[in-house]
Structure 1
Amino acid sequence: MIKYKKISQPEIEEDLCPVLITDETIEHRKERVLEKMKDEGVDTLVIYADLEHSGNFEYLCGFVPRFEEALLVLHQSGKAYMVLGNENFNKAEKSRIPVIGVRMPQLSLPNQPMFEGKSVADILSVCELSTSKTIGLVGWKNFVGGMEDGSKLFDMPYFLVSAIQKLSPNATLVNKTSIFIGRGGVRQVNNANEIAHYEFGAALSGNCILNAMNKMEVGMSELEVATELGAFGQYHNVVTIMASGERFVKANIYPTCKSIKLGDPISMTTSFKGGLQSRGGYAVAKSEELDAVSKNYLERLAKPYYNAVTEWVSTIQIGMQGGLLYEHIETIFPKKDYGWYLNPGHLSSDEEWMASPIYSGSKEIIKSGMIFQVDIIPSVEGFAGASCESGVFIADESLRQELEKDYPKVWERILKRQAYMREVLGINLPEHVLPTSNATLFYRPFFLNKEMALTVEGGQ
């Protein structure tokens, strides 16, 4: 079913422009969070953020605390306090929801002036925590399925948790990150405005990965190729990867001056808010250029892997349980043969990996408005990795109509991507599966052959 043949590559998408989250969307987000708090008997949420773990904070506030830390204290009444360090305190007035700003120097960079002269508990005392009976602490993980009670694991600094306990000694503290990212969490599903917002970063990732693949030649350095993996000064939400040959030499994880050699394994990743693109394969133009051990790479790994990811997008249905999709991938691409062990697909948002409803036995329902990374990571001894990780939006007819009406340029790009995946790649792509970028499931496992790619023979 999977063929390696000469095809036209996707076109680079021009005139991409960020779409901002609207006031109406922010208000709707807040209403949903407050409804969840009421339903789950939570009087107050304390939402923690730092630069890399800020999605739940940003969801309501609209920004991240950059190099500092921050708290959003949200009461069931809707009243909110924003606790910020020295250099972000002026951002309280920019918050997308109304907040009362509270300065806490302890959230600032090391050795900055602690001019408040107050303890952490003293500063937090103005946030009206003492009367709360149930306080939900929100970090960035909901600890599900482990040996411990996840509701009592708090992924925020101890100095904050202990101050909250001191202020509210009779309150019940519980991990409530699930309000945002867990089963039924408010951030699992996106409206048309949110999809258009995240499409910008996902589209940038597609352009970047195509440009980097097209640039690569033997003799170039990792740095030269990696210059194509950034765009417009946008913030990466993962570490950028451009690695040739042996990886993690002296624990280095960044591109270097190392020159690409014929036959090198290649790993390449770039990601912005909304979507990641990753590619893995070899710096060769044909199988004959691989060493004796790796010569069977296409048949042993690349083609079965590509069959799995194209089956993934062909199979996913609105209303299906995540566990059924997991079992389907396990059936056609068994873990014991291909060495994958993480979730075969996960949700994306401001974070590259937000959470995943796709795991063994999952009864979580696939819903319209979800943003997925089609992410299966095989590991077969003797071979380089295989990867064409990409993103898709899941959208029912109503959501598709909203996108077409309110964001016609985004919709036009989506239609072109669908047509390419069906007509050129041969993928049986359902109407409800919308590619987040031009590079979704475009896979050249041999990076030096700029004309050949994997396709589905006999597809749509």
Structure 2
Amino acid sequence: MKQMSKIQLVKSDPLFMQEVDTPVVTLEKEDYLLRLNLLVERIKTCGYTHAVIYGDREHFSHIEYFTSYDCRFEEALFIVNAAGETAILVGNEGLAYSEQIPYPIRRVLYQNFSLQGQPKDQLRPLSTLFSELGIGRESKVGLVGVKYFESSIEGDPVHTFDLPSYILDGLYRVCPQEQVFQFGQELTGYPDGIRIRLHSAKEIAWAESAGNRAARAVQRMFKHMKPGMSELEVSASAGVELEPLNVHPMINFGARSVSRGLKSPLQSERLALGQVCGLCYSVRGNLTSKISVAAYDLNSWADELKPYYETFYQAHFAAMAAWYESAKIGVCCGDVYKAVYRHISHEEHGITLNPGHSTGTEEWLNSAFCPGSSHKISDGEFVQVDIIASGSNPVRTSICEDAVVFAGERLRAQLREQFPDVYARILARQKAMREVLGIQISDELLPMSNLNGVYYPFMLNLDTVFACR
């Protein structure tokens, strides 16, 4: 590791705790049709006749992206042919819910997608439904499951699928197995998966709207938490709307809670001065996570954590700043990875995951931030800045996670024209990151919330942040 940038404590900017409360930006018919057209063109480019996309409650995003339909209790299949004709197969409760899809679509009841014990009086074989939708012996089908495979450890990745076997069986009854191909990489793969990028100013405004809501919840918890409060008491101060989430809330106080990583808040865990502390909230389209120490200053840190102030916590901030400064359109993700690891190491900072990943309605789509990655950051790419440092004996974790969008001149001009308020907020954030935090980001990097890059080493003191000098 090279000598890190000089990290100092500086006075915070009021912008960082300024809550943005604006109307939610929602996607409409024309936005989903834009995405659907991209899908149809990709089907044609691949030489396929159909795309069949699987979804369930946990893995709803592939279908939701093109339709607005997010699977609730049930599984579903979204089917599109090369002519742009669409159909969705749903269970009993999904049939009415699918009425929300904003364009004409053939809605088909398949009752095996219904919950256990529900009526199946209209059940027909899945193979019959595939046939009725035009899939047959001459078809070439691009199939999307939960994830796609890149290695051959489980078999030929082109013909290995991550979805229930009975769906595959039904498809193979009407279409030869060798004519069913993995299509997931066309949605979330690099370099040009459809879902890796935001394709319009409207989509950027949608992401920024989500960023404001996620950050607002975290800002409110920061403002309200005090020693002695339980995780649930602090969570209540978030004052969030009851919208669907893509990640469980993670409000964790103390070594036991923080070390468990993904744990949600409990009444039994209480905030203690000097201990590790984490606040994380996410909505579909953005996540904000801040973890350091519940303290007012370094003197109020627990004695066992103080030796790690520079080598662990400041080093982590320097690595995050290096990510922000090195990431630009056209830069290889492998080079961003190198920039990050000039300041930290796997061994000293316990980092096991990628330092950043693509994001969207689900928090993690894919990641190209790995050693030697040749993927070049593209115009419109939507990325979560996510470097998780952790250690044990004593338990320590450092996270400063927020989302960014990379936008070239044309996309920024569209955003400025169509959503001037969003654009103005982004410019204010860029200015604060450069002038207050000392992080010299490019004009192409659009921070999605007022908390981007903001690191409170003393989480009970909102007047002081880390900065590069």
Q: With structure 1 as the length reference, what TM-score do the two structures score?
A: 0.94
- Cα deviation, 1:244-270, whole Å, max 9, x if unaligned, reads 121289999321112212222212211
1:188 to 149, 172, 196: 196
2:264 to 242, 247, 254: 254
Partner of 1:326 in structure 2?
Answer: 337
- Cα deviation, 1:125-159, whole Å, max 9, x if unaligned, reads 32222244321211232223563433233121122
Shift of 1:88: 1.4
Helix, strand or coil at the partner of 1:167: coil
Shift of 1:71: 0.6
Helix, strand or coil at the partner of 1:437: coil
- Whether 1:2 and 2:7 are equivalent positions in the alignment is yes
Shift of 1:357: 2.3
Helix, strand or coil at the partner of 1:73: strand
- Whether 1:109 and 2:115 are equivalent positions in the alignment is yes
**Alpha-carbon separation, structure 2, partners of 1:209 and 1:286:** 20
Change (3 A) 1:16 1:75: same
Change (3 A) 1:106 1:230: farther
Helix, strand or coil at the partner of 1:197: helix
8 A Cα contact 1:54 1:140, kept in partner = no
1:293 to 291, 298, 304: 304
**Alpha-carbon separation, structure 1, partners of 2:153 and 2:124:** 39
**Alpha-carbon separation, structure 1, partners of 2:113 and 2:294:** 46
Between 1:398-407 and 1:352-361, the stretch displaced more is 352-361
**Alpha-carbon separation, structure 1, partners of 2:344 and 2:262:** 31
- Whether 1:24 and 2:33 are equivalent positions in the alignment is no
1:177 to 176, 184, 197: 184
Shift of 1:57: 0.7
Matches within 5 A, 1:243-392: 243-245=252-254, 246-247=256-257, 253-257=263-267, 258-381=269-392, 382-392=394-404
Shift of 1:44: 1.3
**Alpha-carbon separation, structure 1, partners of 2:239 and 2:84:** 39
2:39 to 21, 33, 38: 33
Structure 2: state its 5+ residue gaps. 1-5
- Cα deviation, 1:194-234, whole Å, max 9, x if unaligned, reads 11112111111111111111211101110011124462222
Helix, strand or coil at the partner of 1:125: helix
- Cα deviation, 1:431-458, whole Å, max 9, x if unaligned, reads 111110011111112212232111112x
Amino acid at match of 2:374: K
**Alpha-carbon separation, structure 2, partners of 1:195 and 1:244:** 33
Helix, strand or coil at the partner of 1:214: helix
Helix, strand or coil at the partner of 2:79: strand
1:438 to 450, 454, 459: 450
Helix, strand or coil at the partner of 1:67: coil
Partner of 1:241 in structure 2?
Answer: 250
**Alpha-carbon separation, structure 1, partners of 2:323 and 2:63:** 32
Change (3 A) 1:27 1:132: farther
Change (3 A) 1:6 1:14: closer
**Alpha-carbon separation, structure 2, partners of 1:2 and 1:296:** 16
Shift of 1:32: 1.6
Amino acid at match of 2:389: P
Partner of 1:156 in structure 2?
Answer: 163
8 A Cα contact 2:78 2:87, kept in partner = yes
- Whether 1:405 and 2:417 are equivalent positions in the alignment is yes
Identity of aligned residues (%): 30
Helix, strand or coil at the partner of 2:84: coil
Helix, strand or coil at the partner of 1:332: coil
Change (3 A) 1:287 1:222: same
Q: CA RMSD in A?
A: 2.1
**Alpha-carbon separation, structure 1, partners of 2:312 and 2:450:** 24
Partner of 2:86 in structure 1?
Answer: 80
Matches within 5 A, 1:133-152: 133-145=139-151, 147-148=153-154, 149-152=156-159
Amino acid at match of 1:317: K
Shift of 1:292: 3.3
**Alpha-carbon separation, structure 2, partners of 1:289 and 1:91:** 52
Shift of 1:91: 3.7
**Alpha-carbon separation, structure 2, partners of 1:89 and 1:186:** 27
**Alpha-carbon separation, structure 2, partners of 1:99 and 1:452:** 53
Change (3 A) 1:230 1:88: farther
8 A Cα contact 2:19 2:219, kept in partner = no
- Cα deviation, 1:62-109, whole Å, max 9, x if unaligned, reads 120222211111111211211011111124443234321110111112
- Whether 1:217 and 2:222 are equivalent positions in the alignment is no
Helix, strand or coil at the partner of 1:307: helix
**Alpha-carbon separation, structure 2, partners of 1:374 and 1:160:** 36
- Cα deviation, 1:34-61, whole Å, max 9, x if unaligned, reads 2211222222111011122111111111
2:440 to 428, 433, 437: 428
Helix, strand or coil at the partner of 1:66: coil
Shift of 1:349: 1.0
8 A Cα contact 2:259 2:395, kept in partner = no
Amino acid at match of 2:163: M
1:12 to 12, 18, 23: 18
Amino acid at match of 1:198: A
Change (3 A) 1:160 1:8: same
Helix, strand or coil at the partner of 2:171: helix
